Structure 1
Amino acid sequence: MEREAAFAFISENPELVKAWIEQNLLMKNEAMKITQQSSTAFGQAVDTGRIKSFVEFGDKRKTKWYLKADLLDYAKNKKKNSKQ
């Protein structure tokens, strides 16, 4: 899908976009529950690039949203790696 067509779809279907965001994007507190990490451990995983934000915005105070699928994958692999 071309960029212009994608933007047109989004503009014409805000309820679908909202539903997708609500089902797939999480803020830090929700993300920490999935990864079962403390704030410090989660921050370290972000700082080292093991967890990446899907989108971030804001200049002075950044807001980051994380993709739920990425967090579930990270949590699954974190458990595997800790058993080795």
Structure 2
Amino acid sequence: MNKEEIRQWINENLVRSEEARTITGQSQSAFTQSVQSGKIVPFCTWGEGVGGRVLKLYDRESLELYARTKRKERK
């Protein structure tokens, strides 16, 4: 893959937490709880922890699968 293909793949497949919450249909607190419990795992993380800003990107396909599975479990 060249840089442009990688950039395109990232844009099509990775999302930030705001869009991830929309995909899973969760509130901020529910999404945070799912991440902390390991039910949702970031695809990659950049930045500093303590005191610095951290960027987490999530795999769209995994989130869509989680959303479908989560809804089935609740029924």
Unaligned runs of 5+ in 2: none
Q: TM-score, normalised by structure 2?
A: 0.92
* Higher RCO structure, 1 or 2 (CA under 8 Å, sep 6+): 2
Q: Distance in 2 between matches of 1:51 and 1:61?
A: 20
**2:33 matched to which residue of 1?**
44
**5 Å matches for 1:1-16?**
9=1, 13-16=2-5
Q: Quote the residue 2:56 is aligned against.
A: 64
Between the two proteins, the alignment pairs up a number of residues equal to: 72
1:32 aligns with 2:54: no
- Report deviation, 1:57: 1.1
Stretches of structure 1 that go unaligned for 5 or more consecutive residues are 1-8
Number of the residue aligned with 2:68? 76
* C-alpha displacement of 1:18: 0.7
Q: Write out aligned runs for 1:13-24 (5 A).
A: 13-24=2-13
Counterpart of 2:72 in structure 1: which amino acid?
K
Give the TM-score of the pair, scaled to structure 1.
0.83
RMSD of the TM alignment (CA)?
0.8
Q: Which runs of 4+ in 1 moved over 2 A?
A: none
